[in-house]
Structure 1
């Protein structure tokens, strides 16, 4: 057993969620230790940020670092439909002027390192590489962790609160069988990187472009990065991408060759690096917290890459959890009720983004909607920038439903249930060396 009994919080995982919660807690005077199993920098996907990350970056004192970085500035998002028609850009600052409406396209190996270094600068005790073997409990209450020691053996370390920010390995969600699979969003992705590919000039250089496949089975992301590369990937239903087809390279090229917009954009460059594949099954935990423990980031849930909300949800869950934990420590209350007080608000925000994702997959046209309801373009832009946690954006849903065809049914909601039938097949793709692990 560790002789250090003064820790307030142990954080498992040093990605954006773990870095955020630990930094904010340290700012509030908590003694925080963070365990990260990998040595940074390390590869990770999830490279496009959205503007609402600004407010968390401000609290983290990360804005000066982001502004001084080489990351490509992102001012907008554009959509290309199945016929190849490009939408007008959704410029974030047209709705909310100022620096808060500019964000970045990041290389995650660099960004995650910056975030973890920032946590260190704020007084977080970062142990890296260090693998947490299990969370320790006394009854139903988390009381610490067992950590693998360098050179062999293990030690137990106690703390008042344990935060699981372990990503999709999600230790506590698996332990308590809390995972709820989304009834709709069972997607997969194949991606790679292209050097010297086309990018727009000026303000549009850093735009994320979402390109619908001509057969409407899926969509492409197109994300320019500062090392003269573009992150390019196709997302579609898992069965469509991976069942009865060839390897990742073959499927990627078949989809590319069927999409004139992608061919055009990649024609000026050449591929750099290998092909990557991952499950994008969407899931969420039925709880955000228990007595002495909290789930944040991908350890709580994963939505969908469509609107680049992943890093925002990691940062926001880390921020909300940090405030609940700090207040609980001050009051001597680390109960599930106190530590999870932010869950309802957070889930409501995720539900809004999820609905926008589902509407797109069900045929929603941004162009048609804005043409029919031009006064609501700002509200749609609010959703796209990640302004998810305020009721004002709910004004869009009634008009959106007015455009439904007569036979359209409601978007299914979350439900308890078993994983999709092919979840074991998906997990075969999800090997330990997978960078998305």
Structure 2
């Protein structure tokens, strides 16, 4: 017999940034939430660079004091290095928006994610680590709960009014309901590792994310300084280019580092302190963000290329929007798809703006050249880079990019 008084109103699958966000914001509004995480935290995860627009969700979560007291490296800018080694002027976030939000952090995800999960607990979320969610339970088209298996191998059903899938790229519902839509134009992969003692820029540039293009333009490196003198460095390229017929991941990483002297120079004399990691098949999205009694957020909803470090922002933002829709729906007694997905269109439009900027980079977009041609768009480009994606005025940037492309084609004829 179900204990109605103690039955959770919402169950959340996954304890990463998306799951921690949605559950915390729900608990703040008095919603009974239980969160189920397969692993025990802390656990390793890639995606260390935060962008400034995470500030506003982190503020709602009461996470800012914890981050300010942490040892995470402060991040003030992003910089791009072309395939010829030419560096762009740094895009300093403060130049565009004079606010505390223009300083963010480079985080070690094992530490950041655990901070987020413990913060959820402090707000009243009941968390379960080391518990596998085996299935989402449905009554017809409506989700009514989940089936779990605890550490002892015992199975039980947990019923709820709403199921939130924040299970990451393994997304339980996107697979169960066959909702995954791959993005063939962004069929990328990455190979990465960590160094100790690698080069850092001085002063406020110490924590800058640097994006370095490989000489043949078939890939790019991220370079992210972390605390404890550790740097995260990885190469991203087309799946076939990186992973087909080229030997081991270690061999490919070394070859690509040779093709990017600006990256190689930064790690010369440094000590590689972890194994080589690799991941494949980056970009996809779901056909829909919600249905009757269920919601997808974070990587379970969709994942973009890591070029502009948008992953944590999209996790936090989708978690925030979903939480607000769920709270409103519970108050009205409406947990239908129409209610739970009313944020979907705006969110997907913003995500598509970031996707377009990613695609332009792979198509040869040069930030410095564009800003020189259209200086009025410098602030708009910075808005895109900081994750301020949800305003229609930004669409003018892509019209100007198209204009510049046409001008280049005409000059080439």
Report what 2:243 is aligned to: 242
Cα 1:331/1:154, change in 2 over 3 Å: same
Report what 1:343 is aligned to: 344
Tell whether the 8 Å contact from 1:290 to 1:335 is kept in structure 2 after alignment.
yes
Shift of 1:149: 2.8
Report what 1:401 is aligned to: 402
Report what 1:224 is aligned to: 225
Shift of 1:335: 0.2
Does residue 287 of the first structure (1) align with residue 304 of the second (2)?
Answer: no
Tell whether the 8 Å contact from 2:138 to 2:145 is kept in structure 1 after alignment.
yes
Report what 1:46 is aligned to: 47
The alignment covers a number of residue pairs equal to 408
Distance (whole Å) between structure 2 residues aligned to residue 76 and residue 54 of structure 1: 15
Tell whether the 8 Å contact from 1:11 to 1:165 is kept in structure 2 after alignment.
yes
Report what 1:162 is aligned to: 163
Report what 2:300 is aligned to: 299
Q: TM-score normalized by structure 2?
A: 0.97
Distance (whole Å) between structure 2 residues aligned to residue 375 and residue 143 of structure 1: 51
Distance (whole Å) between structure 2 residues aligned to residue 336 and residue 295 of structure 1: 11
Distance (whole Å) between structure 2 residues aligned to residue 254 and residue 13 of structure 1: 36
- The CA deviation string for residues 353-384 of structure 1, in whole angstroms up to 9 with x for no partner, is 00000000000000100111112101100000
Report what 2:268 is aligned to: 267
- The CA deviation string for residues 193-224 of structure 1, in whole angstroms up to 9 with x for no partner, is 01100010111000000000000001000000
- Residues 31-110 of structure 1 mapped to structure 2, 5 A cutoff: 31-110=32-111
Report what 2:214 is aligned to: 213
Report what 2:333 is aligned to: 332
Does residue 253 of the first structure (1) align with residue 237 of the second (2)?
Answer: no
Distance (whole Å) between structure 1 residues aligned to residue 328 and residue 40 of structure 2: 32
Distance (whole Å) between structure 2 residues aligned to residue 310 and residue 8 of structure 1: 27
Cα 1:2/1:168, change in 2 over 3 Å: farther
Shift of 1:153: 2.4
Secondary structure of the 1:281 match is coil
Cα 1:150/1:258, change in 2 over 3 Å: closer
- Residues 194-205 of structure 1 mapped to structure 2, 5 A cutoff: 194-205=195-206
Secondary structure of the 1:334 match is coil
Tell whether the 8 Å contact from 2:130 to 2:150 is kept in structure 1 after alignment.
no
- The CA deviation string for residues 199-252 of structure 1, in whole angstroms up to 9 with x for no partner, is 101110000000000000010000000010110000000000011101010000
- Residues 305-384 of structure 1 mapped to structure 2, 5 A cutoff: 305-384=306-385
Deviates more, 1:4-13 or 1:226-235: 4-13
Q: TM-score normalized by structure 1?
A: 0.92
Report what 1:115 is aligned to: 116
User: Which blocks of at least 5 consecutive residues in structure 1 are unaligned?
Assistant: 409-437
RMSD: 1.2
Shift of 1:150: 3.0
Tell whether the 8 Å contact from 1:222 to 1:233 is kept in structure 2 after alignment.
yes
Shift of 1:257: 1.5
Report what 1:420 is aligned to: none
Shift of 1:166: 0.5
Distance (whole Å) between structure 1 residues aligned to residue 282 and residue 65 of structure 2: 35
- Residues 161-180 of structure 1 mapped to structure 2, 5 A cutoff: 161-180=162-181
Tell whether the 8 Å contact from 1:15 to 1:165 is kept in structure 2 after alignment.
yes
Distance (whole Å) between structure 1 residues aligned to residue 200 and residue 371 of structure 2: 26
Tell whether the 8 Å contact from 1:291 to 1:334 is kept in structure 2 after alignment.
yes
Tell whether the 8 Å contact from 1:189 to 1:280 is kept in structure 2 after alignment.
no
- The CA deviation string for residues 74-124 of structure 1, in whole angstroms up to 9 with x for no partner, is 000000001000100000010101211110000000000000000000000
Secondary structure of the 2:56 match is helix
Secondary structure of the 1:123 match is coil
Shift of 1:152: 2.2
Cα 1:127/1:2, change in 2 over 3 Å: farther
Distance (whole Å) between structure 1 residues aligned to residue 328 and residue 269 of structure 2: 54
